[in-house]
Amino acid sequence: MTDALYAVAGNPVLPSMSPALFRAALAGMPTGGAYVRLAARSACEALRFAMQAPLAGMNVTAPFKEEMAALVQAGDEAVRTTGAVNVVVNRDGALEGYNTDCVGVVGALTAQGCNPAGKRALVFGAGGAAKAAAYALKSAGASSVVMLNRTLSRAQAAAARLGCSAAPLGELSRRLEEADILVSCVPRALSALPGLSLSSRLVVLDADYHGSSLELFARESGCWVVSGRDWLLHQAVGTHLLFAGTSAPLQSLADALAPSVPRPWHKRNVALLGFMGAGKTAVGPLVAARLGFGFVDSDQEIQKSAGVDVHAIFEQRGEQGFREIESAVVRRLESAVQTVFSLGGGAFTTADNFERTCRNAMVVWLWADADTCWARAADGTRPLLGSSEQAHALMSARTAAYGRAADLVIDTTSAAPGEIANRIVDEIRNAQRA
């Protein structure tokens, strides 16, 4: 589907490298498409966005994998067995869930020369990723799979579901002496594994692909380390097949994971975009205050420059004249530092504005459905918004550009400006710490 929109949903989600992977894949497809990070409060909220945006497909990351499995139709045996979903595909309004984490684990290990068949495996964790790892290892012929978790009852419940074993953390040392493979699926695993000692013969795979302390410790211990990025890469191969029906360009995906690829939270400014009524003017000053940044509202700057309100600008100069003044405001991003820009809904109608904004700011798309935006903005002050039908048509026309630009999407439909601002800032802070 041309201009199809895809996303990865999680909380937090800004550190996710899935957009780099799938944008690289989409760039090589004749149909194209856009891929964004969706900061959601729940799997239900993510599904609402998926249906109304609408999304063609969605990746699911922590903490929504198990919650999502209860909300969508299971599309494969891995979902039915693990009760965890990491991919949702929209098939003409029917949402189907799949689990490509399973093929990702085995793909990562075998690509690095480790065949799990006949090996003894430990899985640390009991959430969606851990269940996928245990299921994958068992399916690949591991001679034993033991799940460990800080809460033993969770490990026991997961192991019972998967047909493997569970053990308390107190048995970690003994279990490690017997194991051939350790797969960690918990954040900051090293601090959660007391007195950890690793044999140099152990194969270690950490789902955390941001250079975890466990991965570093394993390398220092002489272990055979398989990077979490390899897991991400190989699950993306399976996901791309579900999204596009074709094999993924593996080398393009691998190149997209290179450390040199820019990360959006490293940019010096923040730009809020979205449709009229999405909340940019209310949220922008709050984000700026919480970050200690300056704030620029493009509509206010346009009116200040023209000396008249927006309606008068449209009457006197037309939309073209308005866009010319707007572009002058957007050009200020070139020299701005630590500034939050609230941009008008049509700011990306020119390629220069699009490129300049994406180059100089982390772009946050504030999204609300067309009916909500119409209800908020139907006050007679929006020259391009004359009816509900016009709102729907205009939003549909702009969605592709928003999707191509956005580093982060937040649904503003049912959240107050202060909460939205807090979520944006929390996402940035989490990404900076990752």
- Note the pLDDT tens digit of each residue in 238-248: 999 999 888 77
CATH of the domain at 290: 3.40.50.300
Choice among 1-10, 116-125, 186-195, 221-230 with the minimum mean pLDDT:
186-195
Q: What is the largest CA-CA distance in the chain?
A: 80
The one catalytic residue in 65, 119, 138, 280 is 65
pLDDT at 37 over 50: yes
Separation CA 182–CA 193 (nearest Å): 12
Q: What is the residue range of 199's domain?
A: 103-226
Residue 131 is a catalytic residue: no
Contact 223, 198 (CB under 8 A): yes
The predicted structure's pLDDT at residue 380? 55
CATH of the domain at 141: 3.40.50.720
The predicted structure's pLDDT at residue 225? 96
Choice among 25-39, 64-78, 121-135, 188-202 with the minimum mean pLDDT:
188-202
HEC profile of 338-405: CEEEECCCCHHHCHHHHHHHHHHEEEEEEECCHHHHHHHHCCCCCCCCCCHHHHHHHHHHHHHHHHHH
> Which residues in 410-431 are b (16+ Cβ under 10 Å) and which e?
bbbbebebeebbebbbebbeeb
Separation CA 196–CA 174 (nearest Å): 11
Whole-number mean pLDDT of the chain? Answer: 91
Same domain membership, residue 268 and residue 208 = no
The dihedral built from the CA positions of residue 237, 109, 97 and 402, taken in this order, carries a sign that is negative
Same domain membership, residue 142 and residue 282 = no
Separation CA 369–CA 276 (nearest Å): 11
pLDDT at 110 over 50: yes
Contact 373, 276 (CB under 8 A): yes
Task: Tell me the angle at which helices 228-244 and 18-27 cross, rounded to the nearest 10 degrees.
Answer: 40
pLDDT at 359 over 80: yes
pLDDT at 294 over 50: yes
pLDDT tier for residue 353 given thresholds of 50, 70 and 90: very high
pLDDT at 383 over 60: no
Same domain membership, residue 130 and residue 112 = yes
DSSP state of 412: -
Number of domains the chain contains: 3
DSSP state of 169: G
Place of tokens 């405001």: 329
How many Cβ atoms from other residues are within 10 Å of residue 123's Cβ?
34
Report CA-CA distances (Å) from 215 to 111, 226, 261: 18, 8, 21
The predicted structure's pLDDT at residue 184? 94
Contact 90, 100 (CB under 8 A): no
Same domain membership, residue 35 and residue 15 = yes
Same domain membership, residue 246 and residue 205 = no
Same domain membership, residue 19 and residue 153 = no
Same domain membership, residue 240 and residue 211 = no
pLDDT tier for residue 29 given thresholds of 50, 70 and 90: confident
Same domain membership, residue 270 and residue 404 = yes
The predicted structure's pLDDT at residue 381? 58
CATH of the domain at 68: 3.40.50.10860
pLDDT digits (tens, 9 = 90+) for 311-333: 788 888 888 888 888 899 999 99
pLDDT digits (tens, 9 = 90+) for 215-235: 999 999 999 999 999 999 999
Separation CA 167–CA 151 (nearest Å): 10
Percent of the chain with pLDDT over 90: 67
206's enclosing H/E stretch is strand 203-206
Report CA-CA distances (Å) from 390 to 247, 396, 413: 39, 10, 19
Same domain membership, residue 372 and residue 393 = yes
Q: If you write DSSP's letter for every residue of 298-341 in order, what string do you get?
A: HHHHHHHHHTS-HHHHHHHHHHHHHHHHHHHHHGGGGT--SEEE
pLDDT at 131 over 80: yes
Same domain membership, residue 374 and residue 316 = yes
Separation CA 367–CA 280 (nearest Å): 10
Same domain membership, residue 241 and residue 213 = no
The predicted structure's pLDDT at residue 192? 65
pLDDT tier for residue 63 given thresholds of 50, 70 and 90: very high
Same domain membership, residue 141 and residue 237 = no
Contacts of residues 332-337 at CB distance under 8 Å and 24 or more positions apart, as own/partner, are 332/296, 333/269, 333/271, 333/357, 333/360, 333/361, 334/360, 336/268, 336/269, 336/294, 336/296, 336/360, 337/268, 337/269
Contact 186, 124 (CB under 8 A): yes
The predicted structure's pLDDT at residue 1? 42
DSSP state of 128: H
- Residue 238 dihedral angles phi and psi, to the nearest 5°: -65, -35
Segment 142-169 shows an average pLDDT of 96
pLDDT digits (tens, 9 = 90+) for 177-206: 999 999 999 887 666 676 788 999 999 999
pLDDT at 269 over 60: yes
Amino acid at 272: L
Q: How many helices (H) and strands (E) does the chain have?
A: 19, 17
